[in-house]
Structure 1
Amino acid sequence: MRRIPRLVLAAPHSGAGKTTVALALLQALGERGLRVQPFKVGPDYVDPSHLEAASGRRVYHLDGFFLHETGLLSLFQHGARGADLALVEGVMGLFDGKDALGQVGSTAQVAKLLKAPVALVVDAFGMAGSIVPLVQGFRSYDPGVQVVGVFANRVGSPRHAELLREALNSVGLPLLGWLPQDPLLQIPERHLGLVLAGEIPPPLEALRRAFQVDLEAVLRLATSALPLPEAPPFLPEGKRAGVRVAYAWDRAFRFYYPEGLELLEALGAELIPFSPLEDLALPRAEVLLLGGGYPELFAAQLAENRAMREAIRLFPGPVVAECGGYMYLSQGLWVGEDFFPMVGLVPGEARMAERPVLGYREVEALRDNPVARKGEAFKGHEFHYARMEPSPSPAWQRVGGGEVEGYTDGRVLASFVHLYLPAQPRGVHRLLTPFPQG
Structure 2
Amino acid sequence: MAIIIAGERSGVGKTTATLALLAALKARSPSNKVQSFKVGPDYIDPMFHSYITGLPCRNLDPVLTSEDYVRSCFAKHSRNAAYSLIEGVMGLFDGATGKDDTASTAHIARLLNVPVVLILNCASTSRSVAAIAHGYRTFDPRIQIAGVVLNRVGSDRHLELLTQALEPLNIPVLGVLPRQDNISIPDRHLGLIPTAEMSDLVGIIERLEHLGKNCFDWEKLLPLMGISPPQPLSHGERGVTLTPPLPQERLGDEGLRIAIAHDRAFSFYYADNLDVFREMGAELVPWSPISDHQLPENIQGLYFGGGFPEVFANELSENKTARESVHKAIISGIPTYAECGGLMYLCDRIVNFEDQSFPMVNILPTTAKMGKRLILGYRKAIALEDSPLVQKGELIWGHEFHRSSLTENSDRPLYSLQGYVSHLPYPYEGWQNYQVHASYTHLHFGAQTHLLERFLKKCHNQ
Report TM bin, short chain.
Answer: over 0.9
Quick one: distance in 2 between partners of 1:180 and 1:28?
17
Secondary structure of 1:331's aligned partner = strand
1:1-400 matches, within 5 Å, as 5-33=1-29, 34-200=32-198, 201=201, 203-211=204-212, 212-223=215-226, 225-226=228-229, 231-233=242-244, 235-236=246-247, 239-242=250-253, 243-284=256-297, 285-315=299-329, 316-335=333-352, 336-388=354-406, 389-399=408-418
Quick one: distance in 2 between partners of 1:72 and 1:307?
42
Say whether the 8 Å CA contact 2:247–2:449 is kept in structure 1.
no
Shift of 1:231: 2.6
Q: 1:406 to 1:343 in 2, by over 3 A?
A: same
User: Which moves more between the two structures, 317-326 or 179-188?
Assistant: 179-188
Secondary structure of 2:5's aligned partner = strand
Secondary structure of 2:196's aligned partner = coil
Shift of 1:216: 2.0
Quick one: distance in 1 between partners of 2:244 and 2:350?
42
Say whether the 8 Å CA contact 1:393–1:409 is kept in structure 2.
no
* Residue 405 of structure 2 corresponds to residue 405 of structure 1: no
Say whether the 8 Å CA contact 1:240–1:267 is kept in structure 2.
yes
Say whether the 8 Å CA contact 1:102–1:109 is kept in structure 2.
no
Number of the residue aligned with 1:414: 438
Shift of 1:31: 2.7
Residue type of the alignment partner of 1:11: G
Shift of 1:418: 0.5
Quick one: distance in 2 between partners of 1:26 and 1:58?
13
Dislocated runs of 4+, deviation >6 Å: none
Structure 2 unaligned regions, length at least 5: 233-240
Say whether the 8 Å CA contact 1:115–1:226 is kept in structure 2.
yes
Quick one: distance in 2 between partners of 1:112 and 1:352?
39
User: Which moves more between the two structures, 152-161 or 382-391?
Assistant: 152-161
Say whether the 8 Å CA contact 1:370–1:410 is kept in structure 2.
no
Quick one: distance in 2 between partners of 1:437 and 1:114?
41
Quick one: distance in 1 between partners of 2:448 and 2:461?
25
Shift of 1:304: 0.5
Shift of 1:167: 2.5
Secondary structure of 1:343's aligned partner = coil
Quick one: distance in 2 between partners of 1:279 and 1:299?
15
- TM-align CA RMSD: 1.9
Can you list the C-alpha shifts for 1:58-99, whole angstroms capped at 9, x where unaligned? 100001212322211111112213201211100111111111
Secondary structure of 1:176's aligned partner = strand
| TM-score between the two structures when normalised by the length of structure 1 | 0.94
Shift of 1:185: 1.3
Secondary structure of 1:349's aligned partner = strand
Secondary structure of 1:104's aligned partner = coil
Shift of 1:228: 5.3
Shift of 1:150: 0.6
Residue type of the alignment partner of 2:216: V
Q: 1:79 to 1:191 in 2, by over 3 A?
A: same
Quick one: distance in 2 between partners of 1:39 and 1:154?
25
Secondary structure of 1:92's aligned partner = strand
Shift of 1:210: 3.2
User: Which moves more between the two structures, 259-268 or 60-69?
Assistant: 60-69
Say whether the 8 Å CA contact 2:251–2:460 is kept in structure 1.
no
Equivalences, count? 434
Say whether the 8 Å CA contact 2:3–2:225 is kept in structure 1.
yes
Quick one: distance in 2 between partners of 1:338 and 1:14?
33
Shift of 1:160: 2.8
Say whether the 8 Å CA contact 2:24–2:210 is kept in structure 1.
no
Shift of 1:158: 3.8
Shift of 1:225: 3.6
Shift of 1:116: 0.8
Say whether the 8 Å CA contact 2:335–2:458 is kept in structure 1.
no
Quick one: distance in 2 between partners of 1:53 and 1:59?
9
| TM-score between the two structures when normalised by the length of structure 2 | 0.90
Residue type of the alignment partner of 1:325: G
Say whether the 8 Å CA contact 1:255–1:292 is kept in structure 2.
yes
Quick one: distance in 1 between partners of 2:151 and 2:104?
22
Residue type of the alignment partner of 1:137: G
Say whether the 8 Å CA contact 2:388–2:458 is kept in structure 1.
no
Structure 1 unaligned regions, length at least 5: none
Can you list the C-alpha shifts for 1:130-150, whole angstroms capped at 9, x where unaligned? 111101111111111111211
Secondary structure of 2:296's aligned partner = coil
Secondary structure of 1:375's aligned partner = coil
Quick one: distance in 1 between partners of 2:52 and 2:100?
29
Can you list the C-alpha shifts for 1:7-53, whole angstroms capped at 9, x where unaligned? 11011111111110001111222233243211000000011111111
